[in-house]
Amino acid sequence: MLVVLFDILFTPFEVSFYKEERRTTFLKMIFPILETVFIVDILINFRMAYYDKGMLVTNGRQIVHYYLRKGFSLDFLAVLAELIAVVSYGTSLWYLKIIKIVRVKKLFFMTNRIEDFLNLQRSVSATLKLIKLWGTILIVGHWIACLFHILAYNRKDTEMTWLDKANLENGSIFERYIAAFYWAVMTMTTVGYGDIGPTTAVERLFTIAAMIIACALFGYSMNTIGVIFQEINSEKQQAKEKIRSVKNYMNQKNLGRNIQTRVKNYLQYMIDSKNFHKHEEEEFFKMLSQALKDEIISEVNGKILVECKIFSTNFSYKSSMHLSRFMYEKFLSPEEVLFEVIKF
């Protein structure tokens, strides 16, 4: 994932700022290494099994067809762009290298897979989505800054550009990048202080396109932020609503204060111990086939029986697994009596 992130960030940066100085920079060495990694990744994907309808597909021909349909075109396009850039260095075809930013789709895919693998809690997952959103905004701002710079840098000898206006035509790479990124952030946030702005027709056209993209990204960001905060608070809000409903029911039935307090404390205990969403587990099991249900129940309950000394010493592993299918989970409140011996 870090290799993909490095590639989509430094490729437009190299095209915009390092074209002339490339032969003396580490970028000349690092990008061929990166492309070797991506070529190896393509070869691995041609042999990587995948899930279809819940079943693991290991057939070689099916794997090849699946990868050709799903991700090969973008992966091959990015590698081809780098190869063309290497062969055509010094010509206008070298700028095709920027096509490699299509790998951003691969980055999003990988982050989603990692999030699914970690199985994060709802609040943590929502926070991660917020971080991803801000990361997306910064990446888009970085791309816009690089493109804005290259428009001016390639025409600095023929007409006055924003670099000339800002007295940065002979500035360092750091100074020019900061100025371009500063302009990109101003444009995306619609602040526009006016100290840096387009001067040529091409720059103005690009500014119009950048503002349209920024408006779309702003609308998407506001909607996503609203959804994220709703996800963060939804679990607590649902629990409060259920407790409120139970309290209203007990008030309507004129139940005593003592039992109301016990019920409320028990519900709070269930929420704190994450046992309040038992119905969600039942809905999950309804979606599974009987074979998968039996397999999950055997693995979950079987571990309990195997670790229990009474069962592990007196029963075989097969008997414990068979018995585990008849076990079920029951929740009890603290201090609740399980068995009571009545003396006559």
Complete DSSP assignment for 96-156: GGGGGGGGHHHHHHHHHHHHHHHT--HHHHHHHHHHHHHHHHHHHHHHHHHHHHHHHHTTT
Looking at the DSSP bridge assignments, the partners of residue 50 are: 57
Q: Which of 61-70, 74-83, 119-128, 162-171 has the lowest mean pLDDT?
A: 119-128
Beta strands (DSSP E) in the chain are 50-52, 55-57
Question: Long-range contacts made by residues 211-219, C-beta under 8 angstroms, separation at least 24?
Answer: 211/187, 213/140, 213/144, 214/187, 214/188, 214/189, 214/190, 217/136, 217/137, 217/140, 217/188, 218/188, 218/190
What residue type is assigned to position 94 of the chain? W
List pLDDT tens digits, range 204-238: 899 899 888 888 888 888 888 877 777 666 666 77
List pLDDT tens digits, range 250-293: 777 777 777 777 777 777 776 666 555 555 566 666 666 777 77
Residue 186 has pLDDT above 70, yes or no: yes
pLDDT at res. 115? 74
Q: CA-to-CA distance for 299 and 325, rounded, in angstroms?
A: 9
Most confident among 107-116, 145-154, 236-245 (mean pLDDT): 145-154
The average confidence (pLDDT) of the chain is: 78
| Spatial CA neighbour of 67 closest among 48, 51, 80 | 48
pLDDT at res. 15? 82
